[in-house]
Amino acid sequence: MTIVRSSLIACALAVGAFASTTSAVAQSEVATVNIPFAFHIDQQVLPAGLYHIDHESSSLFRLRGPARSGEVLTHPMAARQLATQGAVVFHRIGGTYFLGGLWSPGAKDGMECFQTRAEKEMLKESHQQVPSLTTVAFNATPTR
């Protein structure tokens, strides 16, 4: 009984170690971007500043800023034209900005953020059909 229990614990630890190693290897920095205004990610408000964008998994991105960081789930979105420069797209409603998507240079598809409840409510209250778009270009693509 003790041998079986020890084997199960060892197996669980090995799987956990493999999973954490795999996720650490999969993470990569996509770019940096200087965002000149405060913006919303989900229920957080992030201040203006220089952000490092990390690709955590196929649909998860992390923006690491000077004071705060935030994560965002995305889904693929086809572009009308090939993106020549990487950029972050924001949905603007009045003076409030919501993270809308991420576009890599040379990519045919971008990664669109899911619309939050707060964004939907603000859009409805403003009587706008769609938000205005504001695009901020990547500063540089990191080299590794």
Over residues 10-58, the pLDDT tens digits come to 333 333 433 433 344 456 888 999 999 999 998 899 999 999 999 999 8
Mean pLDDT of the chain: 80
DSSP state of 140: B
For the CA atoms of 143, 56, 105, 79, the dihedral, rounded to the nearest 10 degrees, stands at 170
In a domain, 1, yes or no: no
Q: Is there a domain that residue 72 lies in? A: yes
With contact defined as beta carbons under 8 Å apart, do 88 and 102 qualify?
yes
Closest CA to 94 of 132, 67, 56, 136: 132
Residue 82 has pLDDT above 90, yes or no: no
Does 18 map to a domain?
A: no
Contacts for 14-22 with beta carbons within 8 Å, 24 or more apart? Answer: none
Percentage of the chain with pLDDT > 70?
A: 75
Report the domain count for the chain: 1
Give a yes or no: residue 91 inside a domain.
Answer: yes
Its domain, for residue 107, covers 27-137
So what's the pLDDT on residue 144? Answer: 42
Q: What is the pLDDT of residues 109-130, one digit of tens each?
A: 889 999 999 999 999 999 888 8
Does the residue 86 lie in any domain?
A: yes
117: left (phi over 0), alpha (psi -120 to 50) or beta: alpha
